[in-house]
């Protein structure tokens, strides 16, 4: 059955998303419908799609048409009963991802501007994701998201990138979704990387991975803040102008490589802008926070076949 979908287009440092409201879980889309909407030639065009659904109503639609319950909504509410809204996130090929660091800031702005949620000064907005609940704070025109715990996961696969003759050792990092970060020698080598095809990982990771290529800025550290440049190939979306979870993984990997005394605050330049990362201790272990802008660009209506 065809229907009209009202959507909003937004981005965070050029990582762009289609967002729509489905509070009661009545309009889950299939992977092929999502891929069609995200197509830059035949659809709206975006790196990903975000459905605004209440955590208590989270469900999704499989390709054959059946709607399945998704326990991630109940898990979010069990973790924090105030996490009323869930970020139901899909990559541009229609595949699910656990978390999106740019998308969650844009989603927070969407919830606030549409009046679906509010944040009182000094308070946080908890949002459910498949990686757990994430707390957001508004800071002027920017948002900060506490990305929670992180871990080394995925080993040290070799990263082979088209256009770069020598393979690099990578390091696997999970920030709720999987990443592999590899260090490159300089800007020239980073610019030569052809990310129109996915970097090859050896061994291949079972759930796939987002791959970040980083080079140090000169100086690497100034006034206690580390500074790197990054390009990314996102799982399920290809090369994008930015990836928030990727920026966090890149800063964590670079701090690890830099060794003792390396800073806990980082600036990361991506093709679409600059994001800030801060690592800080908590009672349950180290957390990492990401700060950056969120923009809503336009709204429209599209026919879904
Ligand atoms: N662009 C996102 C990450 C989106 C999900 C990713 N492609 C995956 O499959 O894990 C970000 O800003 O973090």
The mean per-residue pLDDT over the stretch 58-70 comes to: 94
Would you state the pLDDT for residue 122?
85
244-259: average pLDDT:
98
**285-294 tens-digit pLDDT:** 999 999 999 9
pLDDT value at residue 2: 85
Q: Are 225 and 266 in contact (CB under 8 A)?
A: yes
What is the predicted pLDDT for the residue at 24? 98
State yes or no: pLDDT of 1 exceeds 90: no
Residue 171 has pLDDT above 80, yes or no: yes
**Ligand 1 site, CB within 6 A:** 15, 48, 91, 97, 100-103, 177, 210, 234-237, 243-246
**Contact in structure between 200 and 208 (CB atoms under 8 Å):** no
- pLDDT for the residue numbered 160: 98
**Is the pLDDT assigned to residue 47 strictly greater than 80?**
yes
Please report, for residues 36, 148, 246, 252, 287, the alpha-carbon distance to residue 280 in angstroms, rounded to integers and kept in the order given.
40, 10, 18, 12, 5
Report the alpha-carbon distance of residue 199 to residue 160 in Å, rounded: 6
ipTM of the complex: 0.97
Known catalytic residues are 100, 243
Question: pLDDT category, 209, cuts 50, 70, 90?
Answer: very high
Please give the pLDDT value at position 169. 96
Whether 44 has a pLDDT exceeding 80, the answer reads yes
Ligand 1 mutation pick, 210, 212, 246, max ligand atoms within 8 A of CB: 210
Q: Which of 18, 235, 238 to mutate to test the pocket of ligand 1 (most atoms within 8 A of CB)?
A: 235
Q: Whose CA is nearest to atom 4 of ligand 1?
A: 100
* pLDDT of the residue at 85: 98
pLDDT at 206: 95
280 CA from centroid of ligand 1 (Å): 22
pLDDT, tens only, 187-200: 999 999 999 999 99
Q: pTM value?
A: 0.97
SS (H, E, C) the chain: CCEEEEEEEEEECCEEEEEEECCCCCCCCCHHHHHHHHCCCCCCCCCEEEEEEEHHHCEEECCCCCEEECCHHHHHHHHCCCCCEEEEEEECCCCECCCCHHHHHHHHHHHHHCCCCCCCCCCCEEEEECCEEEEEEEECCEEEEECCCCEECCCCCEEECCCCCCCEEEEEEECCCEEEEEECCCHHHHHHCCCCCCCEEECCCCCCCEEEEEEEEEEEEECCEEEEEEEEEECCCEEECCCHHHHHHHHHHHHHHHCCCCCCEEEEEECCEEEEEEEEEECCEEEEEEEEECEEEEEEEEEEC
Q: What is the mean pLDDT of residues 34-56?
A: 98
Atom number in ligand 1 closest to CA 103? 12
Q: What is the pLDDT of residue 265?
A: 98
pLDDT of residue 96: 97
Q: How far is the CA of 183 from the centre of ligand 1 (A)?
A: 20
The reported pLDDT for the residue numbered 274 is 98
What mean pLDDT is predicted for residues 43-58?
Answer: 98
Q: Band of the pLDDT at 153, cuts 50, 70, 90?
A: very high
Identify the CA nearest to 239 among candidates 275, 263, 213, 264: 213
pLDDT level of residue 144 (50, 70, 90 thresholds): very high
Summarised one tens digit per residue, pLDDT across range 7-28 is 999 999 999 999 999 999 999 9
State the pLDDT at residue 172: 98
- Residue-averaged pLDDT of the chain: 97
At CA 31, angle to CA 29 and CA 36, rounded to 5?
Answer: 85
């Amino acid at each position: 059955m065809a229907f009209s979908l009202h959507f909003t287009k937004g981005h965070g440092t050029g990582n762009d998303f289609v967002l729509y409201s489905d509070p009661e879980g009545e309009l889950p889309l299939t992977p092929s419908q999502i891929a069609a909407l995200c197509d830059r030639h035949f659809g709206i065009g975006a790196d990903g799609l975000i459905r605004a659904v209440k955590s208590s109503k989270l469900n999704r639609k499989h390709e054959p048409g059946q709607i399945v319950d998704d326990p991630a909504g109940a898990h979010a509410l069990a973790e924090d009963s105030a996490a009323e809204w869930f970020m139901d996130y899909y990559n541009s090929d229609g595949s699910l991802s656990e978390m999106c660091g740019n998308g969650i800031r844009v989603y927070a702005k969407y919830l606030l501007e549409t009046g679906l949620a509010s944040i009182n000064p000094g308070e946080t907005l908890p949002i459910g994701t498949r990686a757990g609940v994430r707390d957001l704070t508004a800071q002027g025109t920017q948002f900060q998201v506490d990305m929670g715990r992180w871990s080394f996961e995925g080993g040290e696969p070799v990263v082979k990138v088209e256009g770069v003759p020598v393979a690099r050792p990578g390091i696997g990092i999970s920030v709720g979704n999987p990443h592999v970060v590899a260090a490159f020698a300089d800007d020239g080598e980073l610019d030569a990387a052809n990310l129109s095809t996915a970097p090859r990982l050896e061994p291949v990771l079972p759930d796939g991975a987002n791959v970040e290529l980083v080079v140090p800025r000169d100086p690497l550290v100034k006034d206690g803040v580390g500074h790197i440049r990054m390009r990314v190939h996102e799982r399920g979306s290809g090369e994008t102008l930015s990836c928030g979870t990727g920026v966090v993984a890149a800063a964590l990997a670079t701090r690890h490589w830099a060794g003792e005394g390396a800073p806990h605050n980082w600036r990361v330049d991506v093709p679409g802008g600059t994001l800030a990362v801060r690592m800080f201790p908590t009672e349950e272990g180290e957390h990492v926070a990401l700060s950056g802008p969120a923009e809503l660009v336009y709204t429209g209506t599209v026919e879904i076949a």
